[in-house]
Amino acid sequence: MSPSPPDDDLTGADDLSEEGPAELRQLLHRRSVQRLLISRAAASSGAVTMAIAMGVYVFDITGREADIGFVGLAEFLPTFLLVLWAGSMADRMDRRRLAAVAYAAESIIAFVTAWYVTTGPTAIGPLLGLTVAYGAARGFANPASRALPANVVSRADLPRLIPALSAVWQLAAVFAPLIVGVVYGIHPAWTFAVIGVLNAVAAVNLLRVKLHSPQEHSVERPSMGDALRGLGLVCRSPLLLGAIGLDLMAVLLGGVVALAPPISKDLLNAPDGAPFWLRAAGGVGAMITAGLLARRPVERNIGRTLLIAVGVFGLLTVGVAFSRSLLITLALFALLAAADMVSVFIRATIVPLATPDSLRGRVLAVEAVFIGASNELGAFESGITAQWFGLVPAIIAAGVGTMIVVGLFAVFMPELRRLDRFDEIGEVATTPL
């Protein structure tokens, strides 16, 4: 492995950190951090809006919960199929340029979707095809963009940058549903046009980010073995496997958020805009939690806190099944997202700290399948189980299953349970299995 030479236009002194970790305010004053945050906010807004708008539009056409699941599956499959090559490319190419090209592709696909919606389609096949294309672009964008923070700031500053990035993601999760609720009511096509603009903004800002530390590029010849090294590293590290695997199972089983349309209609008998309100409530809870974590990161009993947060997530999921009040369900969605944000912060800090930079793209590509894409697979699972067994049994099974998984990980992953501080984490050896 060899570090890439600094680019005069892409590596600059404005991102050099002071001795020791910077205060949050100092960190946010750095131009490259600001550009990274803007790019993440725009890209996240586009992704959240696409997931919500496509699910609602397809449900409006067919009225079937299972079709919401098929939208999630269409988003998941490309990321799953492309994981090895996307991660390997993120370790060979400039991650900023790779992610920017992927965001530009997402923008084009969104504008094509907007045009197609204006034709008044009655079949969902072409919509699922466009969703697959959007998911494929995301499959390349995710590992490249998510590997960048560890190069934009120092190792000491990373635990503060991660919740700041999570906060802007959750800010997107708050406003995107509200924007969708307003724009979608005018015409669904305008919603997809907004997604196109957001992804274009993400691409432009990411290209202007400068690095604190040069990216290390993999110099190995492309091969299946090279692509599999990220997966091998995760399997070899009990800490990486535990942190990623726990969130995988929680997200896979706890995809209750994707069921917001039928929850609003069948359980709450709420107004038409309620699915967007539920999504926004989750964003509010997560955003507040992310802001608190940015100011006061979790510093002790990290592994135990992760397990508790995921367990609470499962318990609150069960509560959603029994609520018949819109206000109570809004509060439950906010608390669900708050618990999830704690687990996201811990996992998103553990993974880059334990991963060498030259393998970070491949490891984060694996994580994208385990975690990010499992949101879509979780939506598929939730939609199918709700169609087969009923909405309430599906939600209860999701929450109880999540709590069982937490108990199993607490017993069989002691390295994760015993983790106390982030500075205990060392990079996993990169020798082949």
pLDDT, tens digit, 9 for 90 and up, residues 366-403: 666 666 555 655 666 666 777 777 788 888 888 888 88
Are 370 and 248 a contacting pair, CB within 8 Å?
Answer: yes
Q: How confident is the model at residue 433 (pLDDT cuts 50, 70, 90)?
A: very low
Give the span between the Cα atoms of 167 and 284, in whole angstroms.
Answer: 10
Q: In the chain, what percentage of residues exceed pLDDT 90?
A: 9
With a cut of 60, say whether residue 55 has pLDDT above it. yes
With a cut of 80, say whether residue 126 has pLDDT above it. yes
List, in sequence order, every residue forming a beta bridge with 2; answer none if it has no partner.
Answer: 217
What single-letter DSSP state applies at residue 8? T
Residue 9 burial (10 A CB sphere; 0-12, 13-18, 19+):
exposed
Give the span between the Cα atoms of 429 and 53, in whole angstroms.
Answer: 43
What was the pLDDT predicted at 145?
Answer: 81
What was the pLDDT predicted at 4?
Answer: 39
What single-letter DSSP state applies at residue 17? P
What was the pLDDT predicted at 216?
Answer: 60
What was the pLDDT predicted at 411?
Answer: 84
- Closest by CA to 86, choosing from 371, 367, 345, is 367
Residue 17 burial (10 A CB sphere; 0-12, 13-18, 19+):
middle
With a cut of 70, say whether residue 340 has pLDDT above it. yes
What was the pLDDT predicted at 221?
Answer: 53
Average pLDDT in the chain: 76
pLDDT, tens digit, 9 for 90 and up, residues 79-100: 777 766 776 777 778 888 898 9
Of 192-206, 248-262, 283-297, which range is least confident? 248-262
Q: In the chain, what percentage of residues exceed pLDDT 70?
A: 76
| Secondary-structure class of domain 21-210+224-421 per CATH | mainly alpha
Would you state the structure tokens that stand for residue 230, as one six-digit string? 């990220």
Please, what's the b/e burial string for 199-219 (b: 16 or more CB within 10 A of its CB; e: otherwise)? bbbbbbbbbbbbbbbbbbbbe
pLDDT, tens digit, 9 for 90 and up, residues 193-214: 999 999 999 999 988 888 776 6
Q: How confident is the model at residue 16 (pLDDT cuts 50, 70, 90)?
A: very low
What was the pLDDT predicted at 163?
Answer: 73
Could you write out the DSSP letters of every residue in 233-254?
HHHH-HHHHHHHHHHHHHHHH-
Higher pLDDT, 226 or 432: 226
What was the pLDDT predicted at 431?
Answer: 47
Cα–Cα–Cα angle for 45, 139, 1, rounded to 5 degrees = 120
pLDDT, tens digit, 9 for 90 and up, residues 129-146: 999 999 889 888 887 887
Q: How confident is the model at residue 106 (pLDDT cuts 50, 70, 90)?
A: very high
* Top-ranked range on mean pLDDT: pick from 60-69, 282-291, 332-341, 421-430: 332-341
Query: E strands, 202-309, where?
Result: 216-217
Give the span between the Cα atoms of 266 and 271, in whole angstroms.
Answer: 11
- Closest by CA to 43, choosing from 147, 240, 195, is 195
What single-letter DSSP state applies at residue 254? -
Q: How confident is the model at residue 113 (pLDDT cuts 50, 70, 90)?
A: very high
Q: Cα 45 from chain centroid?
A: 11
Q: Cα 368 from chain centroid?
A: 8
Would you state the structure tokens that stand for residue 325, as one six-digit string? 């009040």
Q: How confident is the model at residue 266 (pLDDT cuts 50, 70, 90)?
A: confident
- Closest by CA to 94, choosing from 207, 12, 189, is 207
Cα–Cα–Cα angle for 315, 318, 324, rounded to 5 degrees = 130
Which strand (E) or helix (H) includes residue 425? none
Of 32-36, 116-120, 280-284, which range is least confident? 280-284
Give the span between the Cα atoms of 215 and 213, in whole angstroms.
Answer: 6
Across the range 158-182, mean pLDDT stands at: 72
What was the pLDDT predicted at 22?
Answer: 58
Are 14 and 227 a contacting pair, CB within 8 Å?
Answer: no
Across the range 337-352, mean pLDDT stands at: 81
Q: How confident is the model at residue 230 (pLDDT cuts 50, 70, 90)?
A: low
Rg of the chain over Cα atoms, rounded to whole angstroms, equals 20
Are 55 and 71 a contacting pair, CB within 8 Å?
Answer: yes
Entry pTM = 0.63
What was the pLDDT predicted at 201?
Answer: 93
What was the pLDDT predicted at 2?
Answer: 36
